[in-house]
Amino acid sequence: MNDVTIDAESRTSQVTAAMKGFAHEIGALSAFRLESCIHCGMCADACHYYIATEDPQYTPIWKVEPFKQAYKREASAFAPVFRWFGFKPAVTAEQLAQWQHLLFDSCNLCGRCSLICPIGIDVAALIEQARHAMFDAGLAPEELYRKAEHQQRTGQPEASLEPYREQLRGIGEQFGIPLPIDANEVEVMLCVPRTDIEHYPAAVAALGLVMQHLGVSHTFRSDALVAENYGYYAGGKEWQRAISLRLIEQAIACHAKVLLIPECGHAYTALRWEAADLYGKELPFKVMAVTEYLALALAEGRLRLGKADIGSVSFQDPCQLDRKGGVTEAPRTLMKAMGLDLREMENNRSFSFCCGGGGGVVDIERAAPLRYRTMEIKLREIDATDGGTFLTGCSDCRHSFDDAKRHFDWDKTPQSLLELVAKSLAPPRAAL
Ligand code: SF4
Ligand code: SF4
């Protein structure tokens, strides 16, 4: 929780201001969403937290209940009636503090509930807005708050012994692959998931290798290396904006036509769908996920792939790329081109379950026991496919599954689709 030292009186006025702000800023669309729920409960059956626990508190629409209360009291058509007769009491700091668990620890912002709602309520969008109010009330989880604050100030979510720029240079030298930094007049600007810098350097090298294969001018920018946006996770809208602006300004500075999002689902959402809104005007470049960029290059004959020769695979559809981004067939096109025998999970494409780590949940330490419980649904589905190799298109998913491997002593090791593409380039360019 941020601002832990704040006194009770200040906390109450902070909460009151945050809830009033939420009620007045949600806009007509969200107000309509809050008003139109018919309490059918179908979103509960879509959410892996409810499915795993059968605990009603994990019903997605219940997660925004205090915000519905605040909206009705402050901004709905009958707000004065709700206030005068006390039908909707003011949301208290204690009530909101209890909701921290529901809005952060037990929601991946995966959007499966939104997909299922029969009257089209985007519950995940409401939860995202509720996170903004939680942040304003000083109730973002400490881990997310700390990383968001550090990232908006320095560009990195955490200090590292060696700055990411130097680590990137080291990865280039280790793999013998050029990873240009701070070039100008390029076609494509690249960034990296911090997860790759810290855990999967071969995935960073793979990105450089495929760009080299495509012969497209490209660069990383040392002021905007990190793809993830911890402001988005924490609910800090101004910090989310500042972090997005770093990338936007650097893409403009090097005149990139494409800002390429690596294997990182939430980075794609933050930049593809939310950055222009926060920037205030249309972005002067395209934002593309690496899989959709590569599928396009394949269709144009610029990407040449040989057979991967690893037999059957299963594939984790990252929620933010598939369900929220529509990047569904691109990874399948790449897998087909490499001759892979894809064994689909029972819930695949837009209906795929989250890896359990999305929305910053993997960073919240106290959330781990519940996260493991929900992940069992996913692990069972993966095992049921009989796919020999398990592939992901998101570094955060990969990190979550690696963590599950350790926790459950699971016999699968998640692999990166991008790394597999780099290994299958024809003719082979280098070993990863
Ligand atoms: S966004 Fe995902 S995790 Fe959050 S409530 Fe909806 S289904 Fe559950
Ligand atoms: S599925 Fe939609 S209408 Fe039904 S309870 Fe959930 S939010 Fe309300």
Residue 1: its pLDDT value, please? 52
Q: Where are the domains of the chain?
A: 8-140, 145-299, 312-423
Q: What percent of the chain has pLDDT over 70?
A: 97
pLDDT digits (tens, 9 = 90+) for 112-148: 999 999 999 999 999 999 999 999 999 999 999 999 9
pLDDT confidence of residue 81: 82
Name the closest-CA residue to atom 2, ligand 2.
117
Report, as an integer, the average pLDDT of 77-96.
Answer: 81
Looking at the chain, the number of H-run helices and the number of E-run strands are 22, 8
Cis peptide before 284 (omega within 30 of 0): no
Distance, CA of 156 to CA of 192 (rounded, Å) = 11
pLDDT band at 3 (very low <50, low <70, confident <90, very high): very low
Which residue minimizes the CA distance to atom 3 of ligand 2? Answer: 37
- Hey, which of 37, 64, 102, 107 would you mutate to test ligand 1's pocket, going by the most ligand atoms within 8 Å of its Cβ? 107
Q: Output the ligand 1 site: residues, CB below 6 A.
A: 46-47, 49, 60, 63, 107-113, 123-124, 127
Give the pLDDT confidence of 19-48 residue by residue, as tens digits.
877 776 677 777 787 888 999 999 999 999
Confidence of residue 238 (pLDDT cuts 50, 70, 90): very high
Distance 26 CA to ligand 2 centre (A): 19
Residue 407, CB half-sphere, CA atoms under 13 Å: how many? 15
Nearest CA-CA partner of 395 in 244, 310, 325, 290:
290
Order across the sheet with 341-342: list the strands.
341-342, 312-316, 389-392, 415-416
pLDDT tens digit sequence for 158-200: 999 899 999 999 999 999 999 999 999 999 999 999 999 999 9
Question: Ligand 1 atom 3: the closest Cα is on which residue?
Answer: 107
To which residue do tokens 């209360």 refer?
A: 69
Stronger pLDDT, 251 or 28, i.e. the higher one? 251
Helix segments in 101-178, DSSP class H: 112-116, 123-136, 142-154, 164-175
CA 124 to ligand 1: nearest atom = 1
Per-residue pLDDT, 89 = 80
3-state class (DSSP) for residue 286: strand
- pLDDT at residue 2 tops 60: no
Report the alpha-carbon distance of residue 130 to residue 135 in Å, rounded: 9
How crowded is residue 249: how many other Cβ atoms within 10 Å of its Cβ?
13
Give the per-residue pLDDT at 431. Answer: 64
Find the mean pLDDT for residues 261-288: 93
Contact 285, 254 (CB under 8 A): no
Mean pLDDT across the chain, nearest whole number?
93
Percent share of the chain, pLDDT over 90: 80
Does residue 264 have a pLDDT over 80?
yes
The answer to whether 189 touches 404, Cβ cutoff 8 Å, is no
The Cα–Cα gap between 319 and 347 comes to 12
The mean per-residue pLDDT over the stretch 3-26 comes to: 74
**Smallest CA separation from ligand 1 atom 2, residue:** 110
Q: Which CATH class is domain 8-140?
A: mainly alpha
Closest ligand to 122 CA?
Answer: 2
Closest-lying ligand 1 atom to the alpha carbon of residue 49: 8
The yes-or-no verdict on residue 430 having pLDDT over 80 is: no
* Least distant ligand from the CA of 37: 2
Closest CA to 196 of 252, 131, 267: 267
Report the range of poorest mean pLDDT among 83-97, 253-267, 352-366: 83-97
pLDDT at 188: 98
Confidence of residue 381 (pLDDT cuts 50, 70, 90): very high
Atom from ligand 2 closest to the CA of residue 33: 7
pLDDT in tens, 308-327: 989 999 999 999 999 999 99
Residue with the bigger pLDDT between 355 and 12: it is 355
Question: Which pTM does this prediction carry?
Answer: 0.94
What pLDDT does residue 16 have? 83
* CA 310 to ligand 1 center in whole angstroms: 34
Give the binding-site residues of ligand 2, using a 6 Å CB cut-off.
Answer: 37-43, 61, 117, 119, 121, 123
Q: Give the residue-averaged pLDDT of 70-97.
A: 82
The β-bridge relationship of strands 415-416 and 258-261 is unpaired
